[in-house]
Structure 1
């Protein structure tokens, strides 16, 4: 079982966490490992993923099961429990961008049959906050809470384009994610060229980098805090539906939808003279 690439306990450039509550730290590591696993895991899997001895994990997992943060299956393997969903729903209900996205979506007829997603950047990944899966068989179903490497997604590129180039390089140069497809952008230098294009156009394109046969267009979303995006919207299509003329038309429409959401969050464009 591989370790999750997401580690909230050791953010880049930060010193190791010092705490007087090591049991809390270990519990978070267990929950992170369960969240990263594609299927229920055994106690031995958790020990390998967290580096903790099985003897100390046994009692901790029993407590987490009792609190409904972890559920134990009949074969003894474990997965996240239902109590975690309550936290996730609370987070989403308190996230203004998510609520405003839903309100905007109810008021618009844009992209009626397409898959539309809303994401935010978390370290080197994007986390999906809202998803409206369309009726086209894209080969992937977006889910709330789903994580993907930012360099390979339309929303990730859109958000990264609003960061200074040196910040993007520092974030990714020593932590470049494994490619998802043969088209995935290969290096930080290649990504930097793509991000220059995103800045010039105002929208991003994922041309099969996240999923072969799928093309996505994304645009950043801003609030009152400044010029760094707080999220991004993306619209996904089958690649065989997209030709040059369609791409030129869809990109600005995604940009317009993102601008509407930004306006709902209090962002005001700075006019250039």
Structure 2
């Protein structure tokens, strides 16, 4: 078994390329070399363990060039050689770098730009909410320019069953998990339109998932409509719900369709910023 390269070996490999002054021509070659490194890494990621000859042919590079880059990457710990063969594969070190980048991602910070954009375009209240012990909790909010007064603030908890964000969080859970969560709740009517049972909520979840958004039509507050879409994490799980709230008197068919489109666009943008990638069709 090959030992994992030591940090001093990595440092030496890097230093070996930086110990001489570089001309403008050298700089161009350096940029080209960096590009080749990432092409090699991408090919290893796509094709799995592969030999130098096959990799050289696939990339259209000479075997000497490919071997030289692979040896440097092996010294740095980004690729490993399988036994005594000429087959190379990626190591977990790239994942470690990616994990460090993801640690610095802040959902609220990434969502804020999109939420403010929606707020400026619509002048309505925009919320970001997450699952919290059988409720939703608002973790960010952009207030409406119209002076709309809502029973919401950052840190406030509201029921899953009577909010658009709550329905979004439930709709992307496995059905058995959603049923289990709802079975623990005490249903209280906030308005005459509040759904009164777990069965009533479960019945609408498939359509929520199919159309990609949920609604609270005066179910939490009289005279107030709310639309919400999911925000996905890097594993494809729903991390939060993004919503817009506005009075029913400002809800025409065109308005609603426009708001749904804005929310879906923003939901995708936020999801991508925190590492989510849309599944590719087979």
Q: Counterparts of 2:173 and 2:224 in 1: how far apart (Å)?
A: 26
The aligned residue for residue 237 of structure 1 is 246
Q: Counterparts of 2:196 and 2:165 in 1: how far apart (Å)?
A: 18
* Residues 118, 231 of structure 1: 8 Å contact kept: yes
Spell out the pairing of 1:133-172 with structure 2 (5 A cutoff): 133-172=143-182
Q: Counterparts of 2:147 and 2:114 in 1: how far apart (Å)?
A: 25
**Alignment RMSD:** 2.0
Q: Rg bigger for which structure? A: 2
CA 1:168–1:260 in 2, change beyond 3 Å: closer, same or farther? same
- List gaps (5 residues or longer) in structure 2: 1-103
Q: Which of residues 190, 198, 204 is equivalent to 1:188? A: 198
Q: How many residues align?
A: 179
Q: Counterparts of 1:108 and 1:138 in 2: how far apart (Å)?
A: 16
* Residues 228, 243 of structure 2: 8 Å contact kept: yes
Spell out the pairing of 1:19-30 with structure 2 (5 A cutoff): none
CA 1:252–1:108 in 2, change beyond 3 Å: closer, same or farther? closer
Spell out the pairing of 1:1-273 with structure 2 (5 A cutoff): 96-105=106-115, 111-226=121-236, 228-273=237-282
TM-score, normalised to structure 2, is: 0.59
Q: Counterparts of 1:236 and 1:255 in 2: how far apart (Å)?
A: 15
Q: Counterparts of 2:240 and 2:210 in 1: how far apart (Å)?
A: 19
The aligned residue for residue 15 of structure 1 is none
- How far has the Cα of 1:136 moved from its partner? 2.7
Q: Counterparts of 2:114 and 2:142 in 1: how far apart (Å)?
A: 13
- List gaps (5 residues or longer) in structure 1: 1-93
* Residues 133, 141 of structure 1: 8 Å contact kept: no
More helix by share: 2
What secondary structure sits across from 1:230 in the alignment? strand
